Amino acid sequence: PSRDALIARLPKAELHLHIEGSLEPEMLFALAQRNGVAIPFASAEAVRAAYDFSNLQDFLDIYYQGMAVLQTEQDFYDLTWAYLERAAADTVRHVEIFFDPQGHTERGIAFETVLDGIERALQAGEERLGISYRLIICFLRHLSEEDAFATLAQAMPHLARIHGVGLDSSELGHPPAKFAQVFARAREMGLHVTAHAGEEGPPEYVHEALDLLQVERIDHGNRALEDPALVARLVGEGMTLTVCPLSNLRLCVIDRIESSPVQRMLDLGLKVTINADDPAYFGGYVNDNFRAVADALDLSPDAIVRLAENSFTGSFLPMADQIAHL
Ligand code: ADE
Ligand code: ZN
């Protein structure tokens, strides 16, 4: 109970959150009706029942389908605002959220419609909830690097509003090397860089994210633990890992929550953080993730505080703003 109280009141930053993955079944259903989009479900309960995944691709198939209900600027505002209210309830003080422009532009939704709606909600969240933010566009790695370049070009007129680039979607068969050029270009443009690596993919993909993409964070990174030299390198560089325990469980990256690598990573000296990934699909927001691992691994109060501290020092905030949160 005191552990729950600590988690409930601890200030934290969320660094690995796909805004489209915060689309709750109730909102999915409501937006389908509002926009006249046909979905193959009779109710929000039926939608939730379909969220049973045996790997990343299983989930992605449903996640991209769900995006179809997001059509207008107001839809993206409503989606983002609902997430921010949940985040505020979890005492989240800073968010660095991902969105997948290609998941929308390929359906004929303008890049600006998506960006305007998400950003308007983030600004309202800063004013009304006191949550600061950064915004990260993710390239879909199952698409080509040429496609990623086209997305980066769409972001170009909005560089004051976009802070970083990431890499997500189907990992196996789509190594970071495939995106070395577009990440180099993004870095030249002054954008922060991060990439999903080592979720399902091998340690080699984590090496590539570091060497070829020159990322500032690794999203997930679970499979780095298979490579002791890689672990030593991540520790030495103070590299932040954005781990997502309930996501790992629901996507069968781990077989049970007790197998979460969070305590092992802390023991190894890795800079691990706790995040929700796609909370509407994986059964919990950030505090649910903290509670699940804290209970399963019997995390100490010091460990819990360290995880929250890492979330600020691993953020893209300038040092002075990181310190202000600690
Ligand atoms: N897109 C949304 N969530 C993702 C995840 N956990 N891994 C890869 N791509 C994603
Ligand atoms: Zn993710």
Residue 238 lies in a domain: yes
Residue with tokens 């691992």: 293
Give alpha helix (H) positions in the chain: 2-9, 25-35, 44-49, 56-66, 73-89, 101-105, 111-129, 145-155, 180-188, 203-211, 228-236, 245-250, 262-268, 279-282, 286-297, 301-313, 319-325
Distance from chain centroid for Cα 58: 18
Q: In terms of Cα–Cα distance, which of 320, 318, 306 is closest to 12?
A: 306
Q: If pLDDT is split at 50, 70 and 90, which confidence band does 301 have?
A: very high
Residue 260 pLDDT > 70, yes or no?
A: yes
What CATH number did the domain enclosing 198 receive?
3.20.20.140
Is the CB–ligand 1 distance for residue 277 below 6 Å? Answer: yes
What whole-number percentage of the chain has pLDDT above 70? 100
Pick the catalytic residue from 119, 199, 200, 309.
199
Residue 286 lies in a domain: yes
Q: For 105-134, what is the mean pLDDT?
A: 98
> 279: buried, middle or exposed (CB in 10 Å: 19+, 13-18, 0-12)?
buried
Residue 47 pLDDT > 80, yes or no?
A: yes
Counting from 1 in the atom list of ligand 1, the atom nearest the Cα of 220 is 6
Confidence (pTM):
0.98
Residue 48 lies in a domain: no
Is the CB–ligand 1 distance for residue 169 below 6 Å? Answer: yes
Residue with tokens 């995880």: 307
Residue 36 lies in a domain: no
Q: Which ligand is nearest to the CA of 251?
A: 1
For 157, residues 6+ apart whose C-beta sits below 8 A from its C-beta are none
Residue 43 lies in a domain: no
Give residue 306's domain range: 2-25+73-314
CA distance 285 to 291: 10
CA distance 197 to 225: 12
Mutate to test the pocket of ligand 1, among 15, 16, 18 (most ligand atoms within 8 A of CB): 18
Has 309 been annotated as catalytic? no
Q: What is the mean pLDDT of the chain?
A: 97
ipTM for the predicted complex: 0.97
Residue 145 pLDDT > 90, yes or no?
A: yes
- Residue 106 per-residue DSSP state: T
Q: Order across the sheet with 92-99: list the strands.
A: 12-18, 92-99, 132-140, 164-168, 192-197, 217-220, 240-243, 271-274
In this structure, the residue with its CA closest to atom 6 of ligand 1 is: 277
Residue 319 lies in a domain: no
Q: If pLDDT is split at 50, 70 and 90, which confidence band does 103 have?
A: very high
- Domain count for the chain: 1
What whole-number percentage of the chain has pLDDT above 90? 96
For 244, residues 6+ apart whose C-beta sits below 8 A from its C-beta are 16, 220, 274, 275, 276, 277, 282, 289
CA of 107 to the centre of ligand 2 (A): 21
CA of 168 to the centre of ligand 1 (A): 5
CA distance 91 to 12: 7
Residue 117 lies in a domain: yes
Q: For 212-236, what is the mean pLDDT?
A: 98
Three-state secondary structure readout of 229-273: HHHHHHHHCCCEEEECHHHHHHCCCCCCHHHCCHHHHHHHCCEEE
Q: In terms of Cα–Cα distance, which of 165, 218, 207 is closest to 190?
A: 165
Task: Please report how the helices 203-211 and 228-236 are oriented relative to each other, as an axis angle in degrees rounded to 10.
Answer: 30
In this structure, the residue with its CA closest to atom 1 of ligand 1 is: 169
pLDDT tens digits, 110-119: 999 999 999 9
Residue 20 lies in a domain: yes
Q: Which ligand is nearest to the CA of 217?
A: 2
Residue 19 identity: I
